[in-house]
Structure 1
Amino acid sequence: MYTYNLYDADASFGINKSYHIQCDIPPHRFRSIMMEFRRNESVGSQISAFIQFMQQEFGDSFRLFEYDDIVQFDADQENSMILANLLSQTDNHV
């Protein structure tokens, strides 16, 4: 299960709405779907339209949730493990 955070912003720097997503779609595929969606000039810049499209296409495997400290803690733990692995790899000589 992957976690994604998308933000809907005005023309300025303000954030109107945030969307927190859990789904089975790996990051490289999620990005390619979003890039294809953005190419549609009539709705491509609307995050809410992208969310609606993803819910229709992926159904139960695409879930919106409210962001809370537990999810942040899990993400921080995972990021810490990834960073530790990367740092240990850089210490090894090839």
Structure 2
Amino acid sequence: MNATEKFREMKRRGQRITALTAYDYPTARLLDESGLDIILIGDSLGMVVLGYEDTTQVTLDEMLHHTRAVARGVKRALIVADMPIHSYDTPEQSV
């Protein structure tokens, strides 16, 4: 069963879908081991981890760096990562 099917089935059954944010390997590993459904790498890492004034300074390379670190710690949860502002300007460019 793929992730889309899994989440549709959970919704059909009235089950909660759990999600939290991780920016690094150890946090991702702990969240994954706890049974979380989704782990998000948000562009908020720019402010929370990198000390930027806002999220508009986050680069695609920085998002990729943190996404790779999270992915190394995850065995089962779905990983979702933000794409930073202006990394795409049209829906077609985003896929």
Give the helix-richer structure, 1 or 2: 1
TM range (shorter): under 0.3
Flag the structure with larger Rg.
Answer: 1
TM-score (norm 1): 0.26
Instruction: Select the structure with the greater relative contact order (CA < 8 A; seq sep ≥ 6).
Output: 2
TM-score (norm 2): 0.26
